[in-house]
């Protein structure tokens, strides 16, 4: 077992942190670091601070790297969800604006129709008054003209 064999533990740390649940991954990484140091010393390596610090430092770097990556991944997912929510909100806003535009156009048309009908009924009333003056008072046409004028007057009042 050579000192270079200690570095074989480093990729194992990443695999353990990636494949195992968090409650198992951290103890597994610590056990792998301890086993790497013990294996080195047990196979005739010198007991030096580097034999213990190297695997522990590698484990710490691996843990920090994986935790940092996971935090970035969570943040990325949160932003993706926010973007999806924003897109949905914009679609809802566009639909609401279309609906508001449609309603505004209907109201405008209703006002125009109302104004046109009111003007038409006013014109009919004026024409019927002129016709009423031109027809003798007791004739049957005068009664029909009066009835039409009264109907136009009532409809104008309702409009």
Q: Which residue has the higher pLDDT, 86 or 4?
A: 86
Please tell me the predicted confidence (pLDDT) of residue 106: 96
Q: Which residue has the higher pLDDT, 132 or 15?
A: 15
d(CA 64, CA 62): 6
Give the model confidence (pLDDT) of 71-104 as tens digits.
999 999 999 999 999 999 999 999 999 999 999 9
Please tell me the predicted confidence (pLDDT) of residue 2: 60
d(CA 129, CA 63): 98
pTM for this predicted structure: 0.57
**Residues sharing a CB contact under 8 Å with residue 121, sequence separation 6 or more, in sequence order:** 152, 155, 156, 159
Give the model confidence (pLDDT) of 136-158 as tens digits.
878 888 888 888 988 888 888 88
State the residue range of the domain holding 25: 3-158
- Average pLDDT on 102-107 reads 96
Please tell me the predicted confidence (pLDDT) of residue 61: 94
Query: Structural domain tally of the chain?
Result: 1
Which of 55, 71, 75 has its CA nearest to residue 22? 71
């Amino acid at each position: 077992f050579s000192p270079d064999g200690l570095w074989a533990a480093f990729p194992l740390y990443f695999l353990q942190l990636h494949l195992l649940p968090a409650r198992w991954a951290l103890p597994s990484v610590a056990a792998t670091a301890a086993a790497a140091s013990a294996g080195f010393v047990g196979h005739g390596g010198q007991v030096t601070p580097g034999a213990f610090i190297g695997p522990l430092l590698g484990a710490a770097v691996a843990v920090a790297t994986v935790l940092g990556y996971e935090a970035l991944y969570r943040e990325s997912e949160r932003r993706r969800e926010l973007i999806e929510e924003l897109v949905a909100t914009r679609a809802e806003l566009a639909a609401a604006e279309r609906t508001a535009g449609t309603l505004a156009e209907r109201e405008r048309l209703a006002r125009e129709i109302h104004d046109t009908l009111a003007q038409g009924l006013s014109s009919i009333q004026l024409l019927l008054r002129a016709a009423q003056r031109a027809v003798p008072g007791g004739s049957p046409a005068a009664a029909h003209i009066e009835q039409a004028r009264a109907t136009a007057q009532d409809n104008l009042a309702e409009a």
